[in-house]
Copies of this chain bind each other. A is one copy, B any other.
Amino acid sequence: MFIIKVGGGKNIKWDYIAQDLKKIKEEVVIVHGANAWMEEIGSKLGISEKMIVSPSGYISRYTDNRTMEILTMVYCGLINKKIIAYMQKHGINAIGLSGADGRLWLGKRKEVILSQEGDKTKIIRDSVTGNVESVNAELLQLLIHAGYIPVITIPAITKAGDLINVDNDRAVAIMIRDLKIKKVVVLFEAPGLLDDPMDENSKISVIRYNKLDTYIRKTSGRMKKKLLGAKEAFSFGVKTIYFGDGRIPLPISSALKGKGTVIY
């Protein structure tokens, strides 16, 4: 079994992903984002997206209860069901689930979040964000063994029954641990990890695990986040991560052939 994590950009071609998936013989679980739509729908509904930078430089979305409502609309509603339709169109019997369904992603809410704003560190108490701590592996296995492909997205849920926004990369790391996953394919809107984020020709083909820290030090923003996610995935037992282009035909097969960036 392996995980396919797909970014939330508008240029991701789900038609290509579904077509390619038909040829994959291994069991898969899909985890997806919906970032680009969140900004669009949120602003139409009068909620402007606020990002929080932690004192250690970690970026996350400020999520109050109103933002959580829009998050469920966009991630679990609009995008998850669009993906299910694409899958079904290609004969793949996919089931869309949030981390809250069947306590698939069980986590803890952070009571306090620190936000670095220039010199000041602010304390935020009304953000319904947290981290996934365990995965309902039995539910995923039940569905997969019955022939379904789970398509999972945020939010997660706490023991108390509160929806929480969580980082997808962290959630994937816990899935790696609880499902004993050795292989992850990450599809996004780039040919692979780029040495210069503005230059698609600067693709890095291979990163050995022992060089990961060097790359983490010299990168920033989204790229740093991806590499930190990769590092955590390795610490939970993954052996290879394949980054690949989610905009091209055969995106999964191409990534698995090493046409993007391979971290091993």
Where the two chains meet, the residues of A that have a C-beta atom closer than 8 Å to any C-beta of B are 41, 44-46, 69, 72-78, 80-82, 84-90, 93-98, 100-103, 138-139, 142-143, 146, 148, 155, 157, 160-163
A-B contact pairs, 29 of them (CB 8 A): A44-B44, A45-B45, A72-B77, A72-B78, A73-B74, A73-B77, A73-B78, A76-B80, A81-B98, A81-B100, A84-B98, A84-B100, A85-B157, A85-B161, A85-B162, A86-B161, A88-B100, A88-B103, A90-B161, A93-B103, A94-B102, A95-B97, A95-B102, A95-B139, A96-B97, A96-B101, A97-B101, A139-B146, A139-B148
Give the dominant DSSP class at A's interface: helix
Please state if A101 and B90 are interface contacts (CB–CB under 8 Å): no
From known contacts A77-B74, A94-B101, A96-B101, infer whether A89 and B146 are also in contact, taking CB-CB under 8 Å.
no
Cα–Cα distance between A69 and B102 once the two chains are bound (Å): 25
Q: How far is the CB of A41 from chain B (nearest CB, A)?
A: 7
Copies of this chain per assembly:
2
Partner of A163, one of B69, B74, B76, B85: B85
Q: How far is the CA of A96 from the CA of B96 in the complex (A)?
A: 9
Chain B residues with CB under 8 A of A100: 81, 84-85, 88, 96
Most chain B C-beta atoms within 10 Å of own C-beta, residue among A46, A139, A162: A139
Give the contacting residue for A81; candidates B72, B95, B139; CB below 8 A.
B72
* A72: B residues at CB distance < 8 A: 77-78, 81-82
Q: Are B96 and A98 in contact (CB under 8 A)?
A: yes
- Nearest opposing residue in chain B for A104, CB measure: B95
Q: A73-B74, A100-B81, A142-B142 are in contact. Are A88 and B161 (CB under 8 A)?
A: yes
Q: A88: shortest Cβ distance to chain B, in Å?
A: 4
Does the CB pair B81–A78 fall under 8 Å? no
Chain B residues with Cβ under 8 A from A96's Cβ? Answer: 76, 97-98, 100-101
User: When chains A and B are docked, how far (Å) is the Cα of A86 from the Cα of B76?
Assistant: 17
Q: What is the distance, in angstroms, from A37's C-beta to the closest C-beta of chain B?
A: 10
Given contacts A81-B100, A95-B97, A142-B146, 14 further A-B contacts (CB under 8 A): A41-B73, A75-B77, A76-B81, A81-B98, A81-B163, A85-B157, A85-B162, A87-B161, A88-B157, A89-B160, A95-B139, A96-B100, A139-B146, A139-B148
